[in-house]
Amino acid sequence: MFQKRKHDKYNFSQVINTEQYKHSFPVRFGLKSPNENGFHVGAEADELNEIEEAFKESAELKKYINIGRITTVGIRDIIFFRLRRKRKV
């Protein structure tokens, strides 16, 4: 599994341990006014990006990591994984 990270002006991917990050948590948004290719544009794009950043900040506090997003056919999915909690014995 890969996690995208920004480093200066370059993007690179990092392999994450799928034994540690077992639980996925997708967030789905339906676009109100997608363009002919199904992507967000204009003010909706700006608002959606702000919402996504707020989700990322909140998710990081709860030990979720963002592994990416997919936008297609008028739908945006943001995908998070959660660190597996150690069980108390």
Contact 17, 67 (CB under 8 A): no
Q: What φ, ψ does residue 44 adopt, rounded to 5°?
A: -65, -40
Query: How many domains does the chain fold into?
Result: 1
Closest CA to 16 of 85, 62, 81, 86: 81
Tens of pLDDT, residue by residue over 71-80, are: 888 999 998 8
Tokens of 24: 């996925």
Residue 10 pLDDT exceeds 50: no
Domain that holds residue 49: 2-83
Determine, yes or no, domain membership for 88. Answer: no
Determine, yes or no, domain membership for 78. Answer: yes
Determine, yes or no, domain membership for 32. Answer: yes
State the pLDDT confidence band at 30, using cuts at 50, 70 and 90: very high
Contact 65, 16 (CB under 8 A): yes
Determine, yes or no, domain membership for 89. Answer: no
Determine, yes or no, domain membership for 46. Answer: yes
Determine, yes or no, domain membership for 66. Answer: yes
Determine, yes or no, domain membership for 47. Answer: yes
More confident residue, 4 or 34: 34
Determine, yes or no, domain membership for 23. Answer: yes
More confident residue, 61 or 8: 61
Residue 57 pLDDT exceeds 80: yes
